[in-house]
Amino acid sequence: MADRARVWLVTGVSSGLGLELARHLVGQGETVVGTLRRATQCAAFEALAPGRAHARVLDVTDAAAIAPLVAGVVREFDGIDVLVNNAGYGLFGAVEELTEAEARGVMETNFFGLLNLTRAVLPHFRTRRRGHVINISSIAGLTGIAGAGLYCASKFAVTGLSESLAQELAPFGVRVTVVEPGGFRTQFSGGSLTLARRLMPEYADTPAARPRGMREHFHGTEQGDPRKAAEAIVAAVDAAQPPLHLLLGPDALAMVRRKLEGFNSDLAAWEPMTLGTSFKQ
């Protein structure tokens, strides 16, 4: 724990990891400004810890609303110490099944909302020469998953942005951590999950169809405990050397190991055809 209560700005605190993180933080005496999409959700959030849990209505896709919200939080609470970009949702469907509107929608929420909030907070962090950006990505930001191509694209974008930001912000003392959870018992595979409106029968018996059954066969049985995830995120912020990547859950670790094994086998297979050999003409 830090010597003073920190101010955390956390998006998407109505349920899931965002809510569990907020609960953990206020339980530790921290101050949390949490964003929710509906005003009717505010009272329940603030009841978590009156005086320490502060609700703000925000749709992260409303770019014009972000800078005024950040400025207001900085004024009211004399700064922001940690930004947690948590708001987002899952979109499942084969790439061919998804409309352009569906594709743009998931990118607007999962990537551009995160980008705009980060950009609004960065001048404050940079001037103070401290701060921590926590971006909630996914194992879907590390490996492609059939039937989740656009969701993966949004999370790959978050991961790439985070890695670049970490290098850009290091000279200013600002830290960046990208969190890559596996399956956790939240609403991700329940109410927060969106399926393509047009499901094509051609994909019914292919790998692209597997994510469609998450609500019926996976929701509520995930290995990950969101309370432990919240504790791990706070521990990462408190660490003397915070990690750039924070993998959460045994399935996340297993998937990364498989990914690395695949890279190694690909490298072994293609090693004779190096770029240097190809371009020596």
Nearest to 94 by CA among 218, 215, 201, 203: 203
Reading the block at residue 69, the tokens are 């919200």
Distances (CA, A) of 247 to 56, 172, 187: 29, 25, 19
Please confirm, yes or no, whether 151 is among the known catalytic residues: yes
Q: Which one of 138, 154, 155, 162 is the catalytic residue?
A: 155
Distances (CA, A) of 174 to 54, 77, 81, 229: 24, 19, 10, 22
> φ, ψ for residue 196 (rounded to 5)?
-55, 135
Please confirm, yes or no, whether 164 is among the known catalytic residues: no
CA atoms within 13 A on the CB side of 80: 29
Reading the block at residue 57, the tokens are 């209505």
Please confirm, yes or no, whether 137 is among the known catalytic residues: yes
Over the range 52-82, which residues count as b (16 or more CB within 10 Å of their CB) and which as e?
A: bbbbbebbbbebebbeebbeebbeebebbbb
Beta bridge partners of 33: 9, 54
Q: Which one of 138, 151, 162, 203 is the catalytic residue?
A: 151
Task: Report the helix count and the strand count for the chain, using DSSP H and E.
Answer: 10, 9
Please confirm, yes or no, whether 155 is among the known catalytic residues: yes
- Secondary structure E strands in 15-171: 31-36, 53-57, 82-85, 90-92, 131-136
The residues that are catalytic are 14, 137, 151, 155
